[in-house]
Amino acid sequence: MKLVRRAAAAGCTLALALGGVVALAPAASATPQGCFYYILEKAPNVDQQIAQDACEVGAAGGKEAFQACYRILRDDYVPAVIAAEGCRKAPME
């Protein structure tokens, strides 16, 4: 009977651990490339070099990098919502 309980506990622990990995997977996809492609998808008329530069600036992470990324994109007239979401995707994990 103890073996059954141990097996059940091990199975539950494994399921919880794998669930945590799956829950973190979307955050792990945040990269400068993700930022760049998001911006190009949502604002196809943006200057590609400016978008790439902004995403690379935002890759450092943190408030200052986000603000710099956002400012670069807004100076090129990228809509605020798209610029903000793109810059959120920029930090490297």
pLDDT of residue 28: 45
- Predicted TM-score (pTM) above 0.95: no
Single out the residue of 92, 91, 86 nearest to residue 35, CA to CA. Answer: 86
Each of the 93 residues of the chain gets a pLDDT tens digit; together they read: 565 565 555 555 545 544 544 444 444 456 899 999 999 999 999 999 999 999 999 999 999 999 999 999 999 999 999 999 999 999 975
Contact 59, 91 (CB under 8 A): yes
Residues 72 and 51: their CA atoms lie apart, in Å, by 8
Residue 54 CB-density burial (10 A; 0-12 exposed, 13-18 middle, 19+ buried): buried
pLDDT of residue 53: 96
pLDDT of residue 31: 86
